Copies of this chain bind each other. A is one copy, B any other.
Amino acid sequence: MSSHSIRELFYPESIAVVGASKDPMKRGFRSIQKLLEDGYAGAIYPINPKEPEILGLKCYASLGDIPGSIDLALVCTPAKTLPQVIEQCGKKGAKGAVVLAGGFAEAGDDGQRLQDEMVRVAHAYNVRIVGPNTSGVFNTHKACNIVGFSNLKKGDIGLLSQSGNMALSLVTEAEANGHIGLSTYVGIGNESDIQFNEYFDYFAEDENTKVVVAYVEGMKNGRVFLDALRRITRRKPVVLYKSGRTSAGRSSAKSHTGALAGDYAVSEGVLRQAGAVLARKSDEILSLAEALSLLQPLASRRVAVLADGGGHATIAADALSEHGLTLAPLSQETRQRLSAILPPSAAVANPVDVAGGTDSNPAVFADCASILLEDPQVDGLLITGLYGGYGVRFSQSLTPIEMQTSMRIAAMLEARGKPIIVHSLYGSLYSDLRPAPLTCIREAGVPVYDSLELAVRCMQGLAEFGEAQRRPLAEAEDHPVRSPAFETVLSSCRSEHRTVVLEHEARQALADAGVPMPAPAILARSPHEAVAAFERLGSVPVAMKIVSRDIIHKSDAGGVKLNVGSSDGVRQAFENIVANGRKHVQDPDITGVLVTPMAPKGGVEIIIGVVRDPTYGPVMMFGLGGILVEVLKDVVFRSLPLTEDDAHRMLAEIRASEILNGVRGAAPTDKDALVRLMMGISSLCSAFPEIAELDLNPVLAYSSGVAILDARILLEEVSAVTPQ
């Protein structure tokens, strides 16, 4: 289907308002009023068979009566009229329609049918649909606002929202702020036709949008969403708020990984992986967007703090640390230069406290800022305290000095390319009370916050976007090779109507996928074979585990014997295991007993798993094993396929990651081996979408190499397996 670029919907040369009205309370009136007020330059065609004119514009009985062509239709009529209206739009050659009405998919089966019908017609006529059930769209750069939001300032932040009220919140916050402007808004609505991904692609290209804000409740197709997010975040920051964090985990999941895959934990991992700057609180969304629209990303996490009081210096240091930023160590030279211009009581280590050194001459702020930004260890600067309010606090004669200082500091943005953020306690004062130097420095491109923590959060956002931009590109999506051996396993699973891949089969599959399998595992079908396996393994102590499609919890079934060290012992263990299995389940299908050398002592217990998330598709979980981690849910997620960078970040992102570096004198674990293991699992699961869940639990990670102590693979229900 050759569809219209959705750009034409945001830059329409003509708009028809279907369901135009003379009632000032109705959208069919208010949007026309707003277009006229804002001076929209294109043609506006009200459609209403009962009115001759609305707001001075000639009214048409139907779309077909319009003399010219139309780019966009705003449809204000009820749900049931839609298929017909869209057909008329199509016949008229409209490129898109914004459908406000509710009563579609969100309202149950009948609504879903109506929506499907509308979309069918739209596709037939190549009309792109925004919504239905949307608050509308605006583009301040085209003076095209059919939402009706007032007091919009033109700017460079694009807004995508699944909640009309959240959009209104953000617009109102921008209005209160006075400095923040918006470029474009889309109420996502039901995503019946155009979905998040197309809007992301549009924003990536839109020359008037520098930063995108997305309020996301759910998504129709998580993989497609992530792909588009990955594309746009290479070029522009996306501040994303994902709501619905506290819903219960997937209690139906069968695997350990599934049970730990809380919705938000998965979203958090995969959205950050795709490059989003995730807002954790709704009240930081717009400030993050503002900082990202004004400033370069941070090149590292090293920040200098310039304070004019000990209290703010201390709070800033605390907040930086809590946000994962570090106080840049200052060079000897930097400290000497600061000492030369500050009083003896000043602190010239980071955080820098001028200790009254600016009271009579706030220009010293710019001198200090310049010195700090010249230090190659410093990648960003946070100014905190009274800056901008010296005229208010001390003497009005200082205000002109502060104005010049503001211009000097703002000029450093350009010169050094390092972000500068100001926290000022006078930032909380509005309108006529707000000191002019703060307005001046903000207009020159340095954001000003009245909350010190918010200023630090925004600095963190700049670091996050910097890291997202520097992340290595995923290798071109390769076509993973399906190993014939695992194809055979799948065939037998299908023919045997089982979804449980037996452990020896799983181990083979992993080995085939290039997962380094440190220890051989031999399936023994008789006591005799078990002894032979034992001897083949060098007669070292072995672990023996039952292999049966009917027994999932092997230990509970008495199906595991550890540290078996003699031929006699192995024979006896085989018989015990099989006998226990028979006692445990009625007439079980016992394939045999797996014999493996005991894993070396020590090592850090790890769990690695894959589940198919209903939204995002296959995602990998990484965490430390053991009961504590389960309780503390200290696990991280990424969508597959994984890059090596993703895998390394997963190791670093668990809260207990310090353990992997070696604590209490332990040697560091072999992170490269873990990464290789994770990459292999990623390949296997990419090659075989039939794999529903995979658990390696536990894996022991040593200072050199890893050992997989248990491997479980569950397949999609046979009926769901790709039909051949």
Contact = CB atoms under 8 A, between A and B. Distances in A.
Contacts of A331: none
Contacts of A656: 628, 631-632
Nearest to A165: B309
Given A429-B176, A632-B656, A163 B627 contact: no
Contacts of A395: 25
Interface string A52-84: 000000000000000000000000000000000
A162 B310 CA distance: 10
A134 to B, nearest CB: 14
Nearest to A395: B25
Contact of A163 (B162, B243, B311, B321): B311
Contacts of A454: 283
A430 to B, nearest CB: 4
A301 interface: no
B626 A628 contact: yes
A314 interface: yes
Given A172-B426, A627-B659, A628-B629, A310 B244 contact: no
B628 A243 contact: no
B318 A176 contact: no
Given A386-B168, A426-B172, A659 B311 contact: no
Interface string A655-685: 1101100011000000000000000000000
Contacts of A429: 172, 175-176
A659 B631 contact: yes
Of A166, A395, A634, most buried by chain B (CB within 10 Å of CB) is A166
Nearest to A107: B345
A428 B166 contact: no
A215 B428 CA distance: 19
A452 B631 contact: no
A597 interface: no
Nearest to A384: B165
Contacts of A314: 217, 243-244
A108 B631 CA distance: 50
Interface string A519-536: 000000000000000000
Given A628-B628, A631-B656, A245 B172 contact: no
Contacts of A162: 311
Contacts of A386: 165, 168
Interface in A403-426: 425-426
Contacts of A107: 345
A303 to B, nearest CB: 14
A281 interface: yes
Interface string A617-646: 000000010111111101000000000000
A663 B450 contact: no
A168 B393 contact: yes
A139 to B, nearest CB: 22
Contacts of A430: 176, 430-431
A312 interface: yes
A501 to B, nearest CB: 24
Contacts of A664: 627, 630
A340 interface: no
A290 B245 CA distance: 29
A476 interface: no
B282 A452 contact: yes
Contacts of A658: 631
B165 A217 contact: no
Interface in A369-419: 385-386, 389, 393-395
B431 A311 contact: no
A189 B335 CA distance: 28
Contacts of A245: 318, 321-322
Contacts of A450: 173, 176, 283
Given A165-B425, A309-B163, A430-B430, A318 B246 contact: yes
A243 B384 CA distance: 15
Interface in A308-367: 308-312, 314-315, 317-319, 321-322, 345
A5 interface: no
B453 A173 contact: no
A428 B173 contact: yes
Of A164, A217, A430, most buried by chain B (CB within 10 Å of CB) is A430
A454 B450 CA distance: 15
A663 B282 CA distance: 34
A165 B428 contact: no
A321 B658 CA distance: 28
A169 interface: yes
A451 interface: yes
A720 interface: no
Given A165-B311, A428-B176, A430-B431, A632 B632 contact: yes
Contact of A217 (B244, B311, B317): B311
A217 B450 CA distance: 21
A473 interface: no
A172 B217 CA distance: 37
A287 to B, nearest CB: 11
A372 B371 CA distance: 59
A433 interface: yes
A309 B164 contact: yes
Of A217, A246, A308, A426, most buried by chain B (CB within 10 Å of CB) is A246
B283 A321 contact: no
A243 B425 contact: no
Given A168-B393, A246-B321, A628-B659, A451 B283 contact: yes
A163 B433 contact: no
B282 A631 contact: no
Interface of A: 25, 107, 161-166, 168-169, 172-173, 175-177, 215, 217, 243-246, 281-283, 308-312, 314-315, 317-319, 321-322, 345, 385-386, 389, 393-395, 425-426, 428-431, 433, 450-454, 624, 626-632, 634, 655-656, 658-659, 663-664
10 contacts: A163-B310, A163-B312, A166-B315, A172-B389, A172-B428, A243-B311, A245-B321, A630-B664, A631-B663, A632-B632
Given A166-B312, A630-B663, 7 more contacts: A163-B309, A172-B428, A282-B452, A283-B452, A631-B663, A632-B634, A632-B655
